[in-house]
Amino acid sequence: MALRRWYKQDKDATVFVANIDERFTPALLMELMTQVGRVREAHMPRDRISQTHHGYGFVEFETPASAEYASKVLNGIRVWGKPIRVKKASADEEKKVEVGAELFIGKLDSLVDEKMLYDTFSQFGQILRQPTIIRDESNMSKGYGFVSFDSFEATDNAQATMNNQYLLSKAIVVEYAYKKEGNGERHGDEAERKLAAEGKMHNIIPKQQTLAPAFHMYPGGPPGLPTAPPIYPGISSSSGFPGTAPADTPLPPSFTAPSGFTAPPGFTAPPGGAPPDGHPQR
* Per-residue pLDDT reduced to its tens digit, 19-46: 888 888 888 888 999 999 999 988 887 7
Residue among 171, 173, 157 nearest 105 (CA):
173
The CATH number of the structural domain formed by 98-208 is: 3.30.70.330
- Please tell me the least confidently modeled range out of 66-80, 82-96, 188-202: 82-96
pLDDT at 115 over 50: yes
Mean pLDDT of 54-77: 88
Mean pLDDT, to the nearest integer, of 168-181? 91
More confident residue, 259 or 115: 115
Does position 108 have pLDDT exceeding 80, yes or no?
yes
Residue 8 pLDDT > 70: no
As annotated, the residues of the chain forming the CATH 3.30.70.330 domain(s) are 6-93+235-262, 98-208
Going by C-alpha positions, the residue among 209, 145, 141, 135 that lies closest to residue 177 is 145
CA distance linking residue 107 with residue 167, whole number of Å: 9
CATH superfamily, domain 6-93+235-262, is RRM (RNA recognition motif) domain (3.30.70.330)
Side-chain half-sphere CA neighbours of 236 within 13 A: 1
**Digit-coded pLDDT (tens) for 160-173:** 999 999 999 999 99
